[in-house]
Amino acid sequence: MKPMLRTLMVVGLLFMAVQAKAQNLALILSFQNYENGSEVRNALRSHNDLLTAYRNAGFQTFAGRDRSNAQLRRLLREFADALDDADNAVIHINGHVVSFGQQSWVLPVDTKANSLAGLEIDGISVNFLLELLARKPEQSILFLGMPDRDFANIRGTRRGVSAENMPDDVMMVSGLHRDVVRAVTRNFLDPDTIVLQALSANRRSLNFDGDIPVGLILADGGAAPAPSPQVDTPVQIESALGLSRNQRRSIQADLTILGHDLGTIDGVFGNATRRAIRNWQRDQRFSRTGYLTAEQLVQLDRGADAVRRDLEVRDRAFWARSGAAGTVAGLQAYLEQFPEGLFAGRARDQLSELLRDDDQEEWLRAAEINTLQAYQRYLQRYPQGIYNRLAKVRIQEFAVDEPDPHADARRAEERLRLDESSRLLIELRLAGLGYRVGGTDGNFNNATRNAIRQYQTDRRLPVTGYVSSTMIRMLLLGR
């Protein structure tokens, strides 16, 4: 073989080996010395340990210590630009994280936030970080290491991260920053260790949410891994239980009675049910997988039965104090407190008999007046009345006769799908501009609608009392 040809072949083989080696990326951020909040002890010392561990595991690292908001955003852009060419991706953050409702923010060291609106300006959205990693489905993890103390007293917020609205195929691991650093350096970055094994080794000290990339290995040892013991995934463990549709309905009923909202009880474990299971697992200090084990089923059933027994005792006691006397006020009080209670059917039957004459008299009065308000008053007094359906039909007829002049604006606001935190932010911005919103609670009441109309009048916007995308942009710009 000619020397030149041999040289080209060797170079080509080396190039192929380099190409075959996984190019993993890690963004490592540590925040310790906050200008306007409590210090995160030892975060910078841990930062050096993390940097060494990720680099030894073959990661290309983007790192920052005590970065400001502006510096952090530049680093995020650099990381995002390199992300598409990477195999696996990790974002690892040590520092303060605060949440409000379904929103969470990582706080840089120059955070000045003393309000929810300020968090949107100074903080980095955790949801944004998750969406960034979602570009690498089943190949990415967000690690959040947090202190055991609050950043500052920001009304309405709580320390820690919310796991709501996570994108598919991304996992988030969170806990005290010393526990997260220990788990990453000792387990997750141990050569040829799959993520599921690392999670199993740290299930008592860490929380994890989202979809577990069961086959992901962050640190490739470079040689064929030794056969590892079979580790059943959470999905496989629950699947082995062989739950029937009725059993799934019972589980959903148990979760509901324990206060976890999951919508309909239909025996189908969709996103809402999985979220409810994760929340229950968090309350019970189980690993937050969203899938149940046999042990957890027993504990769930026991907890729900205890609540049911307590409810039955309170139900019977309240009936004895109210509905048992057979008065209109007593029966109404019982149904208001226990609409699906043990005596609800009897209470409705007795109340129907007692109110029948008054019901009919009120209906005749409404029919004689024959106005929208008269029929609405009837339904308000007798929501389950004899003429309930007729009253609703007449109200619909009036609605057709008198169309809502702002129906398009109302539908446009509905399409924005404003959640409670978004509504609260709008109220805070309006209140900050001097408008009387009638309380900042994320609920658009009459006072809020009047404040919106006044704002629209002052800015020469269409006056509807409903929020538009144009109005939101103006509020965010402080106009």
Q: What is the pLDDT of residues 257-289, one digit of tens each?
A: 898 888 778 888 888 888 899 899 988 988 888
Is residue 451 predicted with pLDDT exceeding 60? yes
Range among 28-32, 156-160, 328-332, 403-407 with highest mean pLDDT value:
28-32
Residues 89 and 101 sit within 8 Å (Cβ to Cβ) = no
Residues 372 and 404 sit within 8 Å (Cβ to Cβ) = no
Closest of 93, 77, 102, 97 to residue 28, by C-alpha: 93
Q: State the burial class of residue 123 (Cβ atoms within 10 Å of its Cβ: 0-12, 13-18, 19+).
A: buried
CA 179/CA 147 separation, integer angstroms? 10
Is residue 16 predicted with pLDDT exceeding 70? no
Q: Under CATH, to which class is 407-476 assigned?
A: mainly alpha
Minimum mean pLDDT among 6-10, 22-26, 213-217, 402-406: which range?
Answer: 6-10
Q: What is the pLDDT of residues 113-131, one digit of tens each?
A: 677 777 888 889 998 999 9
Strand ranges of the sheet holding 207-210, from the earlier edge strand across to the other edge: 59-65, 24-30, 89-94, 140-146, 171-176, 207-210
Distance from the Cα of residue 119 to its chain's centroid: 17
Among left, alpha and beta (phi > 0; psi -120 to 50; other), residue 229 is beta
Distance from the Cα of residue 200 to its chain's centroid: 24
Average pLDDT (291-312) is: 90
CA 392/CA 385 separation, integer angstroms? 11
Report the C-alpha dihedral over residues 334, 339, 340, 342, rounded to 10 degrees: 10
Q: Which residues contact 184 (CB under 8 A, 6 or more apart)?
A: 50, 53, 92, 143
Same fold, 23-210 and 407-476: no
CA 251/CA 329 separation, integer angstroms? 36
Average pLDDT (426-447) is: 84
Q: Under CATH, to which class is 234-312 assigned?
A: mainly alpha
What's the confidence (pLDDT) of residue 403? Answer: 59
Question: Considering the chain, what percentage of its residues have pLDDT values greater than 90?
Answer: 22
Residues 273 and 254 sit within 8 Å (Cβ to Cβ) = no
Is residue 3 predicted with pLDDT exceeding 50? no
CA 427/CA 416 separation, integer angstroms? 16
CATH code of the domain made up of 23-210: 3.40.50.1460
What's the confidence (pLDDT) of residue 441? Answer: 79
Q: What is the pLDDT of residues 49-104, one digit of tens each?
A: 999 999 999 899 999 999 888 888 889 999 998 898 888 999 999 999 998 888 89
Distance from the Cα of residue 272 to its chain's centroid: 10
Q: Is the dihedral of CA 236, 237, 243, 248 positive or negative?
A: negative
Amino acid code (one letter) for 304: A
Q: What is the pLDDT of residues 304-350, one digit of tens each?
A: 889 888 888 988 998 888 877 888 788 888 888 888 788 888 888 88
Residue extents of the structural domains in the chain: 23-210, 234-312, 325-401, 407-476
Structure tokens at 223: 């040689």
Residues 219 and 58 sit within 8 Å (Cβ to Cβ) = yes
Closest of 198, 180, 189 to residue 46, by C-alpha: 180
Question: 3-state SS of the chain?
Answer: CCHHHHHHHHHHHHHHHHHHCCCEEEEEEECCCCCCCCCCCCHHHHHHHHHHHHHHCCEEEEEEECCCHHHHHHHHHHHHHHHCCCCCEEEEEECCEEEECCEEEECCCCCCCCCHHHHHHHCEEHHHHHHHHCCCCCCEEEEEEECCCCCCCCCCCEECCCCCCCCCCCEEEEEEHHHHHHHHHHHHCCCCCEHHHHHHHCCCCCEEEECCCCCCECCCCCCCCCCCCCCCCHHHHHHCCCCCHHHHHHHHHHHHHCCCCCCCCCCCCCHHHHHHHHHHHHHCCCCCCCCCCHHHHHHHHHHHHHHHHHHHHHHHHHHHHCHHHCCHHHHHHHHHHCCCCCCHHHHHHHHHHHHHHHHHHHHHHHHHHCCHHHHHHHHHHCCCCCCHHHHHHHHHHHHHHCCCCCHHHHHHHHHHCCCHHHHHHHHHHHHHCCCCCCCCCCCCCHHHHHHHHHHHHHCCCCCCCCCCHHHHHHHHCCC
Structure tokens at 334: 């019982």
What's the confidence (pLDDT) of residue 22? Answer: 47
Structure tokens at 373: 């308000």
Structure tokens at 15: 């190039």
Scored b (16 or more CB within 10 A) or e, 310-319 reads eeeeebeebb
Mean pLDDT of the chain: 82
Structure tokens at 163: 């796991």
What's the confidence (pLDDT) of residue 133? Answer: 93
Minimum mean pLDDT among 108-117, 215-224, 230-239, 442-451: which range?
Answer: 215-224
CA 412/CA 467 separation, integer angstroms? 8
Minimum mean pLDDT among 84-88, 221-225, 294-298: which range?
Answer: 221-225
Q: What is the pLDDT of residues 346-403, one digit of tens each?
A: 888 887 777 666 777 788 888 888 888 888 888 888 787 777 888 888 888 776 555 5
